[in-house]
């Protein structure tokens, strides 16, 4: 038996023992995991420093290094995320719907754990803690397969989290790191049908497409974030400038950062000079169409690749459009279905924008950066799904469950 299949077998056994545990037991484990992270933060940071140093030596981009790097504040945030998940309602056992049938049978649809959840993700080691915490709370065993670039960080993180969870009473092997740093271990995980119940890929388009195309295990598809902010003809300029600056610059390396700015022609004269100045002050390079470039002589001419790009850097594609319909058509052609935003004072325009799009999240007069599990009040998220199955948008605890129908009778027979 390969090492990857062996951890999957152990996870399957752990999942069976974990599923019946009550909320008190799971919350105690989450709090212990948070304490363990802080107690061993020096070990975590030392391992992460080695990963960052190796990444820099290999020529890794600054955007990816930012996603890879941990700081004392980020470790504290990981621990706080685990504590927050402990305060959230336990989804397991929740009755989704119920009724009394005409024949007297009592029918209930009840949330149950998925079982074994495999997470395949790139760079960000904070995902290790987030995924482990959410899976524990929702009663799932978790197999964590981070990128080779974060292997040292993830190895220490999983060791810390698993030891704390086991010491607090969870089944051994509830939290495991998938062994290996090359593609063969990912392939084995994708072939572990019957042992792994679902795979969730988090990362760039290449990773997600490969997992969706090749996996024999069911996949919940998370999406890349080519997010758009549309400044309508009826926008409040002050709010619009603040929103695009926040959406683009607060953390450009994450999937809910804006990558495209579309501006109605009637708003361009009032908005674009101020927006260009504010974005330039923060180091943003604009990739502009001909009309937008009139407001920024230093802009790079926009190409089709720019409209489709998830830059994950201080770059922004900018275009001027003649109508809301043109903005929607642009988004439907080039967007990734993650998050779009409209800035407008016209309620009807906002409603038309929302109804016309097919994205996982649509913001009205708010930054795209709010598409986030913690911002939505879900606790740490497992990812942001852009598919259309049971999980869409930020995936919190309910999205990590399935359901069982519980039917109660009194000697009923169908006859």
Residue ranges covered by each domain of the chain: 3-222+395-408, 227-370
Average pLDDT, the chain: 95
- Percentage of the chain modeled with pLDDT above 70: 100
Q: Around 144, how many Cα atoms within 13 Å sit in the side-chain half-sphere? A: 33
Strand partners, 230: 262, 342
Tell me whether the CATH fold assigned to 3-222+395-408 matches the one assigned to 227-370.
Answer: no
Least confident of 30-34, 124-128, 140-144, 239-243: 124-128
- Report pTM: 0.86
Q: Output phi, psi for 68, to 5 deg.
A: -80, -35
What pLDDT is recorded for position 222?
84
The residue length of the chain stands at 415
CATH of 3-222+395-408, one of 3.40.50.1820, 1.10.1200.10, 3.40.50.2020, 3.40.605.10: 3.40.605.10
Q: How far apart are CA 277 and CA 275, in angstroms?
A: 5
Which tokens in the block code for residue 155? 């190895």
pLDDT digits over 398-409, tens only? Answer: 999 999 999 999
User: Could you give the 3-state DSSP secondary structure of residue 169?
Assistant: coil
Q: What is the CATH number of domain 227-370?
A: 3.40.309.10
The pLDDT assigned to 205 comes to: 81
CA distance 5 to 10: 9
């Amino acid at each position: 038996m390969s090492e990857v299949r062996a951890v999957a077998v152990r996870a399957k056994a752990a999942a069976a023992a974990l599923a019946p545990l009550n909320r008190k037991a799971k919350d105690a484990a989450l709090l212990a995991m948070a304490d363990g992270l802080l107690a061993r933060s020096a070990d975590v940071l030392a391992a992460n420093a080695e990963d960052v140093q190796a990444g820099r030596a290999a020529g890794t981009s600054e955007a990816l290094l930012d996603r890879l790097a941990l700081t004392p504040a980020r470790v504290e945030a990981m621990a706080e995320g685990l504590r927050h998940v402990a305060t959230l309602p336990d989804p397991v056992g929740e009755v989704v719907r119920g009724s009394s049938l005409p024949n007297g049978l009592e029918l209930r649809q009840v949330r149950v754990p998925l079982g074994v959840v495999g997470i395949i993700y790139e760079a960000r080691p904070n995902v290790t803690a987030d995924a482990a915490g959410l899976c524990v709370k929702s009663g799932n065993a978790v197999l964590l397969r981070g990128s080779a670039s974060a292997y040292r960080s993830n190895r220490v993180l999983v060791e810390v989290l698993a030891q704390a969870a086991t010491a607090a009473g969870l089944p051994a092997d509830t939290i495991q790191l998938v062994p290996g740093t090359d593609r063969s271990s990912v392939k084995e995980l994708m072939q572990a049908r019957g042992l792994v119940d679902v795979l969730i890929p988090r990362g760039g388009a290449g990773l997600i497409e490969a997992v969706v195309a090749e996996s024999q295990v069911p996949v919940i598809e998370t999406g890349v974030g080519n997010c758009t902010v549309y400044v309508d003809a009826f926008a409040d300029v002050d709010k619009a400038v603040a929103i695009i600056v926040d959406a683009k610059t607060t953390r450009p390396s994450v999937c809910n950062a804006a990558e495209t700015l579309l501006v109605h022609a009637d708003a361009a004269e009032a908005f674009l000079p101020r927006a260009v100045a504010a974005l330039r002050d923060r180091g943003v390079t604009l990739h502009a169409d001909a009309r937008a470039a009139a407001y920024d002589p230093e802009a790079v001419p926009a190409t089709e690749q720019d409209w489709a790009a998830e830059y994950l850097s201080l770059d922004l594609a900018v275009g001027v459009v003649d109508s809301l319909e043109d903005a929607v058509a642009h988004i439907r052609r080039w967007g990734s279905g993650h998050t779009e935003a409209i800035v407008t004072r016209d309620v009807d325009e906002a409603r038309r924008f929302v109804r016309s799009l097919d994205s996982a999240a649509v913001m009205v007069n708010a930054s795209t950066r709010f598409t986030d599990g913690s911002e939505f009040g879900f606790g740490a998220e497992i990812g942001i799904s852009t598919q259309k199955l049971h999980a869409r948008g930020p995936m919190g605890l309910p999205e990590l469950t399935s359901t069982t129908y519980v039917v109660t009778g009194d000697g009923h027979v169908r006859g």
